[in-house]
Structure 1
Amino acid sequence: MLRLKDICQLIDGEKRNGKGICLDAKYLRGKSSATIVEKGKFVYARDNIILVDGENSGEVFTVLQDGYMGSTFKQLWLSSAMWKPYILAFILFYKEDLRNSKRG
């Protein structure tokens, strides 16, 4: 039996200092301009991040540039053994269930 944790996991991202773009939801959706921050949890271009708080919990973004995740994000690690579009479709399909089952 394959468990969800075997194909994807939420991780914190790399804590780092130095100027970089804040990758918050509004910016990633194209609804605001870039904000520069001095430190945070760094992710690289092509990494996946997922909203873990608020009404849009479960929304996944593929980062187009290096930067710092917004405070309501976690980095989404996806196993290379699985087809990425399948995992993302699975998350989207069960988004409501995943949102309602989160703790803490």
Structure 2
Amino acid sequence: MGVKAVRDLRSIRPAASAEELERFETDVLAEFVLARSAAGLADATIRGDLSNLEQMRTWFGRPLWEMARQLLTDPHTTSPPGSTPTRAHTHPDTAGEHSGSP
């Protein structure tokens, strides 16, 4: 199987209208709710999660996926100190005691 050239469709497809973006965001949030519900989370938890997402969107003034895309694709984006996972949390008294066998 050979490598094939792929054409970028962003140059062909016109930019999405405000209405299309609003519908897309509604669909994404609906899928989020369905996924959380299917996972068995309580309705109150889902409402809280949605509230937090809406507050973030309102605070930043743009759709969340735009911010996520920038964070995931911008090589100059850095994580705040302490937010990068370095190793599993271990209690200082038990660090290094696990031998790997049950």
Q: TM-score range by the shorter chain?
A: under 0.3
More helix as a share of residues: 2
Structure with more contact order per residue of length (Cα contacts < 8 Å, sep ≥ 6): 1
